[in-house]
Amino acid sequence: MKVETLRWFNNRLEMVDQRILPAAFEYLSYYTAASVAEGIRSMVVRGAPAIGVAAAYGVALEALRLQDKLAVEFKDGMEAGFTVLAASRPTAVNLFWALQRMRRVWESVAEQAPQQIAQRLLAEAHEILAEDIRINKAMGAHGAVLLKDGARVLTHCNAGALATAGWGTALGVFRSAVEAGKKISVIADETRPFLQGARLTAWEMVQENIPVTLITDNMAGYMMAQGEVDAVVVGTDRVAANGDVANKIGTYMVAVLAKRHNIAFYVACPLSTIDLNIATGKDIPIEERSIEEVKGFRDYHWAAEGVKIRNPSFDVTPAELVTGLITERGVVLSPDAQSIRKLMMGRVV
Amino acid sequence: MKVETLRWFNNRLEMVDQRILPAAFEYLSYYTAASVAEGIRSMVVRGAPAIGVAAAYGVALEALRLQDKLAVEFKDGMEAGFTVLAASRPTAVNLFWALQRMRRVWESVAEQAPQQIAQRLLAEAHEILAEDIRINKAMGAHGAVLLKDGARVLTHCNAGALATAGWGTALGVFRSAVEAGKKISVIADETRPFLQGARLTAWEMVQENIPVTLITDNMAGYMMAQGEVDAVVVGTDRVAANGDVANKIGTYMVAVLAKRHNIAFYVACPLSTIDLNIATGKDIPIEERSIEEVKGFRDYHWAAEGVKIRNPSFDVTPAELVTGLITERGVVLSPDAQSIRKLMMGRVV
């Protein structure tokens, strides 16, 4: 089954409701920037690249919705749409990257009629979606080379088709390796509190018959100590100019353990996730989400009444723990400020 | 509220059903060795010291049940009782320690009538329970000295009153520190899959008004990187002769992170948990429990269908990562084979 995380259908955006997977596979429909923003905030859609694509469609939907207004009303409405989308989630830079790209397109045709602007923005959203899949496949090809035949690869959270427009970043590397004829097996951290590993990564791998073993997050060290992990590949929500990596909470822990056990730790990272405006990881804003998520799962709560709760949704893995960044332009080993600058300037690294 | 994890009441053993805490606080009654063994296996009672006390009462209950039989039948029945109790859980050495102690008492009065043997075994079980609380308080006093006023201490799983006959090992250190007038705040890992941290440690600390913050297991690294953890104190299920520590799955991960951040990592460890017959941690049997536990929690399952699952219940932290063992005889810093041998021989270390 090919997973279409987001799709344009009957002049609306449809997104798989990832909150109810794997129990149910359903699409929700979106017509406005505000509803897309709410879909991002509530994690109907999640994963940095998918959030970027969703935000691009949010801008296009808003333009379509406002295209019969006067130019001044159209402009004000569009600005409000950008604002609500930008406020949906703070950590993934792809959100801001996609909004900036849509704004530039808008500015390039600002003199045209709203209907024409709307069509141009919709075309750009389609292009961002198609590009995302192309980029993932390019990353997959570069990353697949790093995995030996028979590799047992641990991943955290879901950097799969469901986190992108298709294929996936980290899981895209696994798909590409399998496509290239390598036997790969995946170890999926369940990834509390939202359980993206247990629900989404496990589901995606089962769909494709890629062998996958589920563990709780606190078993990763045991598996490594037993010699059952050959490599780690994760996604990322933002990479700083010096190579520090923000990703789902718990990624840092996996990286520290991998270092201790001399296991390669790779980050699958489209260029749109690299933020040269952020010098180091400590400047990346870390979203703290509702404490309800940690009390239990969905409406089922098990935590003792009266306990305080923290819920940082991301952490930062320092560049020194990263064996390599897998990008659509190639793999940057031991990333640092210099090699990342070169990468972004388009040089072969 | 004083927690009586196990109590002797109306000629039967009662144990708090820890599977349903904190939603409900209920005692279950036990009359036979087999039912106590099932209570241990199904985790009505858990925690190495509490398992030891429960097993001792299991032996006493079996003797009471069989005390009107002929001597030969009594003996055969008792042997069967020992066997079923020994098979209940493999990792915690306190189980075997308590059974061995009860066997020695039995052997010392083997010539007496079954009724007299039963009374002697019951008295020994009472003594093991009382001793456990005395030992915990001695450990607490030694451990409290290690925590500075205002310390924010992370713990994993539940090494509390609920894991012992009362007071607790790791949480006993916190109780003793608070009793000594120190302000202590606790960070509790939720401890998947059985959630002893979210359900039991958080509940115990709330009962005693000790400030406690709940996090998912994968947030420990983030909290340390943020400078929000001053020390770690955990319990243990078995310590090898060289100081390697078996404890709840995820403990190793916390120890590796603590080392990276130069945070002291203490293990609260009654002498009954030290197993000189095991040379190093790699010889400690690690229990793999039912995969049902990892699919979700209780009857609520969220894992994708068709995924393979692992469920090792413990891991081993090498002695080199242990800042100190807190015992009832004092604190052994940087434990190794030599210092542990001295400790067990009763010398001041």
Query: In angstroms, rounded to a whole number, what is the distance separating the alpha carbons of residues A140 and A136?
Result: 6
Residue B348 is predicted with a pLDDT of 54
Please report which confidence band the pLDDT of residue A3 belongs to, taking 50, 70 and 90 as the band edges. confident
- Domain identity same for A132 and A193: no
Q: What is the pTM of this model?
A: 0.96
Residue A203 is predicted with a pLDDT of 97
Number of CB pairs, chain A paired with chain B, less than 8 A apart: 179
Q: Are B329 and B346 in contact (CB under 8 A)?
A: yes
Give the ipTM: 0.96
Residue B125 is predicted with a pLDDT of 98
- Domain identity same for A163 and A293: yes
- Domain identity same for B132 and B169: no
- Domain identity same for A17 and A156: no
User: What DSSP string runs through A275-302?
Assistant: ETT--SGGGS---B--THHHHEETTEE-
Residue B135 is predicted with a pLDDT of 97
Residue B3 is predicted with a pLDDT of 81
- Domain identity same for A113 and A162: no
Residue A2 is predicted with a pLDDT of 74
Nearest to A213 among B200, B250, B308 (CB): B308
Please report which confidence band the pLDDT of residue A218 belongs to, taking 50, 70 and 90 as the band edges. very high
CA closest to A261 among chain B residues? B256
Mean pLDDT by 10 residues, chain B (349 residues): 88 97 97 98 97 98 98 98 97 96 98 98 98 97 98 98 96 98 98 98 96 98 98 98 98 98 98 97 97 96 97 98 98 98 82
- Domain identity same for A196 and A290: yes
- Domain identity same for A25 and A143: no
Q: Are B36 and B57 in contact (CB under 8 A)?
A: yes
Mean per-residue pLDDT of chain A: 97
The answer on pLDDT for A311 being more than 70 is yes
Nearest to B212 among A23, A216, A308 (CB): A308
Residues A154-173, mean pLDDT to the nearest whole number: 97
What CATH number is given to the structural domain containing A86? 1.20.120.420
The answer to whether B210 contacts chain A (CB < 8 Å) is no
Domain boundary residue among A108, A136, A164?
A136
* Residue at A231 is within a domain: yes
* Residue at B170 is within a domain: yes
| Six-digit token string for B221 | 């690294």
Find residues 244-273 of chain A whose CB sits inside 8 Å of chain B. 249-250, 252-253, 256-257, 260
- Residues with Cβ within 8 Å of A109's Cβ and at least 6 positions away in sequence, in order, are A116, A117, A120
Domain with A114, as residue range(s), is 6-136
H or E element, residue A102: helix A93-108
Residue A275 is predicted with a pLDDT of 97
What CATH number is given to the structural domain containing B264? 3.40.50.10470
The answer on pLDDT for A340 being more than 70 is yes
Q: Is the sign of the CA dihedral B169, B170, B171, B174 positive or negative?
A: positive
A19-42 tens-digit pLDDT: 999 999 999 999 999 999 999 999
CA closest to A316 among chain B residues? B222
* Residue at A120 is within a domain: yes
Residue B159: what residue type? A
Q: Which of B28, B25, B22 is nearest to B9 (CA)?
A: B28
* Residue at A201 is within a domain: yes
Nearest to B218 among A192, A297, A300 (CB): A192
Domain boundary residue among B105, B136, B167?
B136
Q: Work out how many domains chain A is built from and give that number.
A: 2
Residue B2 is predicted with a pLDDT of 74
- Domain identity same for A324 and A208: yes
- Domain identity same for B47 and B171: no
